[in-house]
Amino acid sequence: MVTVIAILVCGALVWNVAGDGRWSTASASARAGDAPKEIQAPLQPGSPNAQEPATPPAAQQPPVDSTLVSKVKGEGKVVALTLDDGPWPEWTDKALSILARNDVKATFCMVGQQAKDHPDLVRKVVAAGHTLCNHSMTHDINLKKRTPQEMHGQMQETLDWIHKASPGTPVRWFRAPGGNWSEEVRQTAASLGMGSLHWTVDTNDWQKAGVPKMLQNVHGQLGPRGIILCHDGGGERSQTMAMLEQVIPELKSNGYTFVTP
């Protein structure tokens, strides 16, 4: 008789907990959550179960301006030299030699595929103290027509290969292949921490029209705070190297100081 009574009492308790006549895990959990909890004293530093203080969050980087930059900062006769489409065997080394002899720092706008194929040249440019610029992974001149994901991928992959060659090296600039800019291209570059770098002087050295024509382009287009575009990659660049041998000393003798953006 005692056993029967005990079974009936337990059944009633189970029925009341479930509420709807079935066992409910959620109901049991909710009720368990209502139970008073043991009050514990805070753990003292050095105690076995004490947790280390949380690492403070890294300082947030200021947003990058997406405005297209076509002139360098400064006053008067300051000029920036930029070289696109490298790094390239032979021609990047020759450019570095010319720059070193003339004590000039330049900005190298690197194509990601070239950085992937020639990491040693990336490191040489960095070791010489020059500035790096992202010039997309495949030099896609139609980049502004791509999807946002494709734009981002072209820029990010280039950054990845540059940083694989030279970890931690800042890449503060992006230059759109062909100068084909759009608001979305500039905003995407800014989202990756890069400003958008254009130019004021186009040597048109890729046309290989001869050194005199290249020099004419420079002297005809250059003004205070100008940015000169030429190439250390994309093919044979002997005319460009010959032009640099002449134009750098000429500009210096005319009172120009070479800077980076």
Please list the active-site residues: 84, 231
Q: How far apart are CA 247 and CA 49, in angstroms?
A: 69
Unique residue bearing structure tokens 């010319």: 98
Residue 102, number of CB atoms within 10 A of its CB: 15
User: What region, left, alpha or beta, does residue 21 occupy, with left being phi > 0 and alpha being psi -120 to 50 degrees?
Assistant: left
Unique residue bearing structure tokens 């020059």: 130
Angle between helices 25-34 and 2-18 in degrees, nearest 10:
90
The number of C-alpha atoms within 13 Å of 86 and in the hemisphere containing its C-beta is 33
Render 175-227 in DSSP notation, one character per residue: --GGG---HHHHHHHHHTT-EEE--SEE--GGG---HHHHHHHHHHH--TTEE
User: What region, left, alpha or beta, does residue 57 occupy, with left being phi > 0 and alpha being psi -120 to 50 degrees?
Assistant: beta
Q: How far apart are CA 86 and CA 235, in angstroms?
A: 9
Q: How far apart are CA 135 and CA 84, in angstroms?
A: 8
Q: How far apart are CA 164 and CA 150, in angstroms?
A: 21
185 phi and psi angles, rounded to 5 deg? -60, -45
